[in-house]
Amino acid sequence: MRIKVGVVQMTSGADVEENLATTARLVSMAADDGATLVLLPECFAYLGPEDGKLEIAETLPAGGPILDRMRALATSRSVDLVLGGFWERSTSETKVKNACVHVDKRGEVRAIYRKIHLFDVDLPDGTRLMESDTVEPGTEPVVTDAPFGKLGLSVCYDLRFPELYRRLVDGGAIALAIPAAFTLTTGKDHWHVLLRARAIEAQSYVLAAAQSGHHYGKRWSYGHALIADPWGTVLAECGEGEGIAVAWLDPEVVARVRRSLPSLSHRVLG
């Protein structure tokens, strides 16, 4: 089923209410443009000092006020939402989970993926991020049933690990959700290259929502939310600042690319 999909770009901060209001406005823009599935970036509800996410984390799939708002938004706009990075409460008192949650247009939670690869880095610009200090990693790849077919879920730093996307394609995925808060330092050099590479090697659409701009302290994100097709062509892209990118997703395009260049069936090493 050929549908329009949208990806959101925003600059989340520590004010949850402001972030959710921006989310609702941008999702509505995408829906008005015809999108029936909209992907939100990582940390859409909160991107502030690390201890703040512990305070707002919610149990899944039951949720709390943040998930309730997103379920109501999906229903009111009749869109499937992929909540790109949702702070999920864990059994730990010091850690949360970074979850990618698929909510359908009826407001039902269809799938939950917990980010497997955690971003522990010391970057050349002095930025030091140790996600594992406050986040508990997931362990299982997740593919969900979207309106167009199978959608593989991932989050941000997962992008650097192609073996995950092989598993998602083996699970039937024809599109890959890659919501992110990619740092400015790494994004300017790696974001486009990695997204197009995942699209080409997985012969799948890539839906990459993004954070953009300054959040707090030294935390800056690159932006450039985009949608790429299975040939690696960028169909729609945001620049800097908040906005949306919308494009058509056609399963027949995936089938045609996989027929004409059957690299997935030529794999020898797994």
Catalytic residues: 42, 115, 156
Element (H, E) at 16: helix 16-32
* Residue 6 structure tokens: 């949208």
Instruction: Compute the residue count for the chain.
Output: 270
* Residue 109 structure tokens: 């939670």
Let me know the angle formed at the C-alpha of 163 by 137 and 161, rounded to the nearest 5 degrees: 60
Contacts of 86 (CB under 8 A, 6+ apart): 44, 45, 58, 60, 66, 67, 98, 99, 100, 101
Contacts of 55 (CB under 8 A, 6+ apart): none
* Residue 238 structure tokens: 């945001």
Alpha helix ranges (H) inside 59-161: 65-77
Residue type, 253: V
In the numeric block, the tokens 């990618």 are attached to 100
